[in-house]
């Protein structure tokens, strides 16, 4: 006999005997499975609704309970219909082998879980798209990666990216994935100045959605859902992103927003790639100009200086006041060319520092001293690179330029440092100028002070070596009697 309270239960409940015949069921069970009001007692459960309940999962759950398991749970769904959770328990009061089955429709819960999982997967794909569009890959690689992840986001068959060239109304195919014939018949170029693509030039996306109640024929290809969104940068359309599916699909508002955002991200990536290419091109041009300056112009300066020296020797018996400034001007020009080369090498990757003997570097810079006398007292080994000679070349050149006639280089070794003092008998540096002489393009108040590059190069090289440089008076408190530059180098371990 059916208990009176079971009709009040919200879930579908049915009791069956040892032979699976129905003992009773509640009203919710009849409604859920459209069984009407006819008598069901004695009818086998598994024969109902064209054997709807005759599923292996239900049989296994029943067998488990009849073998002593307190409860068994399974899921029941047929032909894409509602999903029911079936809880099976023993019903001893109705005889040995009798069972009570409760059916709960969990379709909405599963749908919600599926939607949540799909949303999480889509968010991860969107993150991948953002990472790809902002990566250091080439523009072509970014287009391919973003297109691939966009198709994965929607589960679509085909995709393509077109970018405009010099003609803003003509877009060229730059990337494609999947069944590309579904996208504008795989055309390599598209005109954007006529319908329907003229909407893209105006910044409006195009969506095509078709809904049919018939199944898709196997092997049939055709666009049943498609989208074309502008690829935009700097407020204008520079291309389009097109995706298509051979299945029926409706674009949700969120998916439309995401697709249009992807178009903007692609536009930013393309524009960034163009700017980077322009920078590379300008850098190569600048390198070419520097090659001309440091090599060709340097050779011309060197040759002119050699001819000047030869002329001075030829005319040594006569007074020629123009030779001295001519010689000095050529030396300064050669020094500027050399400084450009040094600065260029400084901007490159810093090589590994190695032990270098100071006296060798000082002797390599003597040519920049011109006719100035240079005395070397002491020697040592420091951590540096081949540019070390430029430190002393610029210090000697700076002294000679300001009229010094004698320079003394004193090397002293301390516990952790090698200290080098470079003294000259030039006009010195006033106290108010000492703090800024190492800044690039800073020139002295003394006439003929030059370009202001030399001492900044000295400072940059000492920083490269992990050392320091400072300037003081050769005679403390009497700057006009010459300058003293103190260099501190690291010692090799």
Mean pLDDT over 100-124 rounds to 82
The counts of H helices and E strands in the chain are 13, 18
What distance in Å separates the CA atoms of residue 485 and residue 470, rounded to the nearest whole number? 6
Q: What is the pLDDT of residue 138?
A: 85
Alpha-carbon distance of 245 to 229, in angstroms, equals 15
pLDDT higher than threshold 70 for residue 323? no
Confidence tier at 169 by pLDDT (50, 70, 90): confident
Comparing 160 with 333, which gets the higher pLDDT?
160
Q: Which of 175-189, 284-298, 368-382, 389-403 has the lowest mean pLDDT?
A: 284-298
Mean pLDDT of all residues belonging to the chain: 82
Q: What is the 3-state secondary structure (H, E, C) of 110-147?
A: HHHHHHHHHHHHHHHHHHHHHHHHCCCCCHHHHHHHHH
Contacts within 8 Å (CB) and 24+ apart, 232-237: 232/203, 232/263, 232/264, 232/267, 233/267, 233/268, 233/270, 233/271, 234/271, 236/168, 237/164, 237/168, 237/192, 237/200, 237/201, 237/202, 237/203
Q: What is the pLDDT of residue 320?
A: 62
| pLDDT of amino acid 214 | 35
Cα 121 off chain centre by: 22
Tokens of 56: 């292996």
Confidence of residue 45 (pLDDT cuts 50, 70, 90): very high
Position 338 scores a pLDDT of 65
Same domain, 41 and 166: no
Domain range enclosing 377: 351-490
Domain at 399, CATH number: 3.30.565.10
Q: So what's the pLDDT on residue 212?
A: 36
414, part of any domain: yes
**If we measure between CA atoms, which residue out of 86, 65, 82, 88 comes closest to residue 74?**
86
Of the given ranges (265-274, 297-306, 476-485), which has the lowest mean pLDDT? 297-306
In a domain, 321, yes or no: no
Q: How open is the CA angle 320-374-491, to the nearest 5 degrees?
A: 145
Q: What's 262's domain CATH number?
A: 3.30.450.40
pLDDT at 165 over 50: yes
> How far, in Å, are 19, 96, 205, 384, 429 from residue 484 at the CA level?
112, 111, 72, 21, 10
pLDDT at 420: 96
- Name which residue leads in pLDDT, 370 or 347: 370
pLDDT tens-place string over residues 182-211: 677 778 899 988 888 888 988 999 888 764
Using CA atoms, how far apart are residues 365 and 385, in angstroms rounded to an integer? 14
Rounded mean pLDDT of 281-300? 63
Domain limit, last residue, from 71, 105, 139? 105
CATH of the domain at 62: 3.30.450.20
Out of 242, 273, 304, a domain closes at: 273
Helix or strand holding residue 471 (H, E): strand 468-473
Reduce the DSSP state of residue 421 to 3 states and report it: strand
Give domain status of residue 161, yes or no: yes
H or E segment and range at residue 299: helix 298-314
Judge whether residue 119 has pLDDT over 70. yes
- DSSP one-letter code for 366: G
Predicted local confidence at residue 382, as pLDDT: 94
Please say if the pLDDT value at position 220 is more than 50.
no
Regarding whether 485 and 401 lie in a shared domain, the answer is yes
pLDDT at 290 > cutoff 80: no
Q: How far is it, in rounded angstroms, from Cα 358 to Cα 174? A: 58
> Same domain for 453 and 371?
yes
Indicate if the pLDDT at residue 66 is higher than 90: yes
Q: Is residue 429 part of a domain?
A: yes
Residue 325 lies in a domain: no
């Amino acid at each position: 006999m059916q208990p009176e309270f079971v009709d009040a239960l919200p879930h579908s409940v049915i009791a069956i005997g040892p032979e699976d015949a129905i003992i009773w069921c509640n009203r919710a069970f009849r409604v859920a499975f459209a069984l009407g009001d006819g008598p069901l007692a004695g009818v086998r459960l598994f024969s109902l609704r064209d054997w709807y309940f005759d599923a292996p999962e239900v049989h296994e759950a029943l067998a488990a309970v009849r073998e002593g398991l307190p409860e068994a749970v399974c899921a029941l769904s047929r032909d894409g219909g509602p999903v029911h959770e079936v809880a099976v328990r023993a019903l001893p009061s109705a005889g040995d082998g009798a069972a009570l089955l409760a059916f709960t429709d969990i379709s909405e819960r599963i749908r919600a879980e599926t939607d949540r999982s799909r949303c999480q997967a889509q968010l991860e794909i969107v993150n991948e798209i953002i990472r790809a569009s902002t990566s250091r890959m080439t523009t072509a690689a970014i287009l391919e990666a973003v297109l691939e992840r966009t198709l994965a986001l929607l589960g679509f068959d085909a995709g393509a990216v077109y970018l405009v060239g010099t003609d803003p109304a003509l877009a060229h195919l730059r990337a494609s994935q999947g069944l590309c014939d579904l996208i504008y018949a795989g055309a390599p170029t598209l005109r954007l100045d006529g319908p329907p693509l003229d909407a893209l030039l105006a910044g409006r996306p195009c969506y095509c959605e078709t809904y049919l109640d018939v199944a898709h024929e196997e092997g049939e290809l055709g666009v049943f859902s498609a989208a074309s969104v502008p690829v935009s940068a700097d407020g204008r359309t520079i291309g389009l992103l097109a995706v298509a599916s051979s299945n029926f699909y409706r674009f949700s508002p969120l998916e439309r927003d995401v697709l249009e955002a992807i178009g903007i991200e692609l536009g930013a990536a393309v524009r960034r790639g163009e700017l980077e290419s322009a920078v590379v091109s300008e850098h190569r041009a600048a390198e070419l100009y520097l090659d001309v300056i440091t090599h060709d112009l340097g050779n011309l300066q060197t040759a002119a200086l050699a001819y000047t020296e030869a002329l001075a020797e030829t005319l040594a018996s006569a007074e020629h006041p123009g030779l001295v400034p001519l010689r000095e001007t050529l030396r300064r020009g050669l020094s500027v060319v050399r400084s450009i080369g040094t600065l260029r090498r400084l901007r490159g990757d810093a090589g590994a520092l190695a032990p270098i003997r100071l006296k060798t570097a000082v002797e390599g810079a003597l040519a920049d001293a011109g006719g100035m006398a240079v005395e070397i007292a002491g020697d040592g080994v420091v951590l540096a690179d081949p540019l070390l000679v430029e430190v002393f070349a610029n210090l000697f050149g700076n002294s000679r330029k300001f009229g010094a006639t004698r320079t003394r280089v004193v090397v002293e070794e301390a516990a952790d440092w090698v200290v080098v003092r470079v003294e000259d008998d030039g006009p010195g540096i006033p106290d108010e100028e000492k703090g800024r002489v190492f800044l690039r393009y800073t020139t002295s108040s003394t006439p003929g002070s030059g370009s202001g590059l030399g001492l900044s190069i000295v400072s940059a090289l000492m920083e490269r070596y992990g050392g320091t440089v400072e300037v003081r008076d050769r005679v403390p408190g009497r700057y006009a009697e010459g300058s003293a530059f103190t260099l501190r180098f690291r010692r090799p371990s």
